[in-house]
Structure 1
């Protein structure tokens, strides 16, 4: 299973459930889908969970602000998206930790530049940037396919892969307490 839903919105908007939509699409959708399918995933022998994130340099200034996890108080579309993707990394590493005694793996990856509607709801200047990236777009995400099919990473879990398949060592900086706190908060938000 590859969770790659993502978008950038130019303005803050709350869903009917009272969750900011950037956080909903970029993080909560992944959390909700995975946690609701977890028992089914555990029944399978070689299931791999993959979470598409952004390029690693976007995480340089990202942070998890537990007082404003959804970036509602001071909304900026790009910052809200970066922070939600950063939360996705913590979710992936926490999920991998929780699945250590199973045959299920959980890894994060940078999908690279792929044809998508990621910037459809974003500000005009980001759409312009998207036009500049058009020549580099791919039809498929090679790293997700590789993670799903390669025996080389069959038992690898809790790692971040970039588009060149090299492991980016974010897992070494993972703070389990933050992962647990994020998981608990998101259970409360989702009602799980």
Structure 2
């Protein structure tokens, strides 16, 4: 839809002049967020998310998109991850729910089986805030499965009070980005030999809100700001996808990042938005999963890589994502963090 293309671009070009303009950045962020929210509300009214999902399912089943393939969805026990996993299972993927809370994961597994009538869902334990847990997950996955065709890096935390991962990294950056960095790198060998395969990182409009990756937010507790730390982690996921697309060119692996929009999920628990208010203001999780599903299932995006998607369309990513220098600086910084906080050799190849 041309109107969606226009508003996706408008939000970016409102943010763009202010991204690195010091105190004026807040003005750009607020203005862009307001416009994006207004259009998101309109988009929600004119888009039948269930119907669009059914179209994607029908096309994918017809094309055999998921037949005989394996997918991992992190944070799949609820919200966007749950609805993403549900559709992937419906189109034939053997879908692994990679969840921290196994009790909720078991409930999700049972519910998915009942709702779809399918047995191609599997629950595995994964805590993205623990390198040990990630390492164990990867080992168990490779023991059980010889291929992997889709990795959806969906799980995460949002604007929580200062805390750290098991290894001592700032929690939001450590969970949302570094955890997925370690997981993805450790699974690249399987993704390569299973190609064509896909990696999808769930980011956010928040990726526009910082001037660039702020290392001090990660390394200096006194500089912690729960909103800016969240922005930092979501921007890092966009850069990560862009870097993977560049480094993996020619391997049969595509990597993209997406903004699912304003979605009513439990990720907002730390900022006091009740479920009732969220349900009034935001889209449901079926709509929240649409952009991920479009990237994975829509044939027009079968070979698309290195893009940032909003409302099922590629649009402008933060300028840092287009800078090889900034991509490589983030990659190096991430490797330094991992080396400092763990025995790096135990957690993947890191290209």
Instruction: Report the TM range for the smaller structure's normalisation.
Output: 0.7 to 0.9
Distance 1:172 1:156 in 2: 19
Structure with max Cα Rg: 2
Pairing 1:188–2:340 present = no
Structure 1 SS opposite 2:200: strand
The alignment of Structure 1 onto Structure 2 pairs a total of residues equal to 186
Q: How does 1:30-49 map to 2 (within 5 A)?
A: 30-49=180-199
Q: Compare relative contact order (CA 8 Å, sep 6+) and give the higher one, 1 or 2.
A: 1
Answer whether contact 1:94 1:179 (CA < 8 A) is retained: yes
Point out where structure 1 has 5 or more consecutive residues left out of the alignment. none
Q: CA deviation at 1:100?
A: 0.7
Distance 2:319 2:227 in 1: 26
Compared CA separation, residues 151 and 172, structure 1 to 2 (3 A): farther
Q: CA deviation at 1:109?
A: 0.4
Can you list the C-alpha shifts for 1:104-129, whole angstroms capped at 9, x where unaligned? 00000011233422112x133xx25x
Answer whether contact 1:158 1:171 (CA < 8 A) is retained: no
Distance 1:25 1:76 in 2: 16
Within the candidate set 235, 248, 251, 1:99 is matched to 248
| Higher helix proportion | 2
Compared CA separation, residues 102 and 71, structure 1 to 2 (3 A): farther
Answer whether contact 2:208 2:318 (CA < 8 A) is retained: no
Within the candidate set 112, 120, 123, 2:261 is matched to 112
Distance 1:109 1:12 in 2: 26
Structure 1 SS opposite 2:227: helix
TM-score, structure 2 normalization? 0.49
Q: CA deviation at 1:150?
A: 1.6
Is 84-93 or 71-80 further displaced after alignment? 71-80
Compared CA separation, residues 131 and 25, structure 1 to 2 (3 A): farther
Is 87-96 or 107-116 further displaced after alignment? 107-116
